[in-house]
Amino acid sequence: FRRVLFRSQGSREQIERYLIPALRGEGGDAYAVTEAEAGSDPGGIATTAVATDGGWSINGEKWFVTSGDVARVLIVMANVVDGPELLPTLFLIEPTTPGVDFVDSPRFTHNYPHGHPTIRFTNVEVGPEAVIGGVGNGEALQRAWFTEERLGIATHGLGAMWRLLEETTEWALSRRQGGQRIMDYQGVSFPLADSATDAALGRLLAIQVARMVDDGGDLKLVHAKASMAKLFVSEAAWRCADRAVQIFGGRGYMRSNVAERFLRELRVDRIWEGTSEIQRLIIARALERRGVEATIH
């Protein structure tokens, strides 16, 4: 999404300053939207941007800024204060800008290499060139970002299920208890069959969403379909990991086991980039506004 955002909405200066170096591997970006009181409801964002003689003054605090500890630039959602109106807008802010403070680096269940710091913006001064996509276009750009990220979560969840199925099936075929392979017990083989079915269905759904994007499909339907893919795969992948832990038995609870690691690392996929409950709301609204046939075909 960030690459698409810069290509489609970024100025030549923004592209040369941030996109091209990122493509060379010289530092990426981090998306800063979540706040203490604005998680599932981004409409609750309290970060503000007030016009100044030289551009904008930004104040607020962002939570769970994934890769914010290594980013070269932060993409910050803030409300531009225009009289009584609040206009959601995306700003590009470099972490070294005066007034940008990293106030916390919480530890999480998973072991991702990059952190998710809390970042505070206090009277951060940026020029007009920091706006990306135009003042007031933040919500539309964010919707596109969520669509991309949700499809991404579905695809990495499918990759996790693939590996879990391969390693757990291999174990079930080689491990013997009671004089026979544990694969021959339905208590082992049936959960694997359920996981394989989940993986196949999730793959078809993710491919359909990707095809709709490539074909330039209705953006509202693509948004709903991406929510379906994210919802289904994130929940199915964690079920798959849970089943795998059970099949590996005590070995499945060891830190060296793939099932134990994925059980920890896949859990967050049901929370970030919109919780499972938010995905269900989006899908339900699609049924209401787009109709059953369009939503499920």
Q: Encode the chain (297 residues) as per-residue pLDDT tens digits.
A: 455 555 567 778 888 888 888 888 887 889 999 999 887 777 789 999 999 999 999 999 999 999 999 999 999 999 999 999 999 999 999 999 999 999 999 998 888 888 999 999 999 999 999 999 899 998 888 888 888 889 999 999 999 999 999 999 999 999 999 999 999 999 999 999 999 999 999 999 999 999 999 999 898 899 999 999 999 999 999 999 999 999 999 999 999 999 999 999 999 999 988 899 999 999 999 999 999 999 998
Q: Which amino acid is at 135?
A: V
pLDDT of residue 145: 81
pLDDT of residue 110: 84
pLDDT of residue 23: 80
Give the integer Cα–Cα distance in Å for 235 and 248.
20
DSSP string over 152-190: HHHHHHHHHHHHHHHHHHHHHHH-EETTEEGGGSHHHHH
97 DSSP 8-state letter: S
Give the integer Cα–Cα distance in Å for 16 and 188.
54
pLDDT of residue 1: 45
Annotation says 235 is catalytic = no
pTM of the complete model: 0.87
Q: Which residues contact 137 (CB under 8 A, 6 or more apart)?
A: 9, 88, 89, 90
> Which residues partner with 126 through β-bridges?
56
Cβ–Cβ under 8 Å, residues 36 and 29: no
Please state at what angle helix 138-174 crosses helix 258-265, rounded to 10 degrees. Answer: 160
Cα–Cα distances in angstroms (integers) from residue 243 to residues 20, 155, 188, 198, 227, in the given order: 43, 20, 9, 12, 24
pLDDT of residue 4: 52
pLDDT of residue 227: 96
Q: Which residue has the tokens 């990707």?
A: 210
Q: Spot the catalytic one: 273, 277, 288, 293.
A: 273
Cβ–Cβ under 8 Å, residues 133 and 76: no
Q: Which residues contact 146 (CB under 8 A, 6 or more apart)?
A: 223, 226, 273, 274
Instruction: Give the HSE-up count for residue 297: Cα atoms under 13 Å, Cβ half-sphere.
Output: 5
pLDDT of residue 201: 97
Joined together, the tokens standing for residue 165 give 């199925």
pLDDT of residue 247: 97
> Which residues partner with 119 through β-bridges?
62, 102
